[in-house]
Amino acid sequence: MSSRDSRGFIIWLTGLPGSGKTTLARALAARLSEPMRVEVLDGDEVRQTLSVDLGYSRQDRDRQVARLGYIARLLARNGVAVIVAAVSPYNEARERERLHAHESDIPFLEVHLDADLPSLIERDTKGHYRRALDGRLPGFTGVTDPYGPPLHPDFRLRTTSEPLATGLQVIGDALIARGLVPSIVACLAAYL
């Protein structure tokens, strides 16, 4: 199967800030790029370009998710494997994007990167968690603003205790099982 004939799909990585979404997205994209076209839509990067008009209210966060979903569907309809890496804190918004993908006949996998708060605080190089806990960063997801973990994700990866290679293997196996990639096993095996 050539990349031109590949069927596009969406992998939606969600989790608290610092849970490893961007790291997993970039590693997965590197492994998938050999057999197909891949794009990573990083929530932070999209906020700095297409969503500079948005704040952090629930309505604005939902708009951000809708924008990411729309772009992801456009790309996936054109045979691109799309990896969205965004906190996307509300179940309802993520479920709407799953529904829109389903209505467009685009495979959609939701992956929850689950990490405990003490680990996130420990590995927080920007100091966001400490500032939020001290009351100096209002509206921070997981501390002063809610995060709704997916109720029924396709996969839940415990990034506090599972290595990156485990996440890559789980997602790679699922893509192969669903017939979405030609043979990612060889690509992933070189990195495991």
The set of catalytic residues is 88
The amino acid at residue 107 is: P
Sheet order of strands, 155-158 included: 38-42, 81-85, 9-15, 108-114, 155-158
> In whole angstroms, what is the distance from residue 45 CA to residue 98 CA?
22
Asked if 36 and 81 touch (Cβ cutoff 8 Å), the reply is: yes
Burial of 83 (0-12, 13-18, 19+ CB in 10 A): buried
173 CB-near residues (< 8 Å, 6+ apart): 185
Q: Note the helical H segments in the chain.
A: 21-32, 43-49, 58-77, 91-103, 117-122, 128-133, 164-177, 184-189
Element (H, E) at 40: strand 38-42
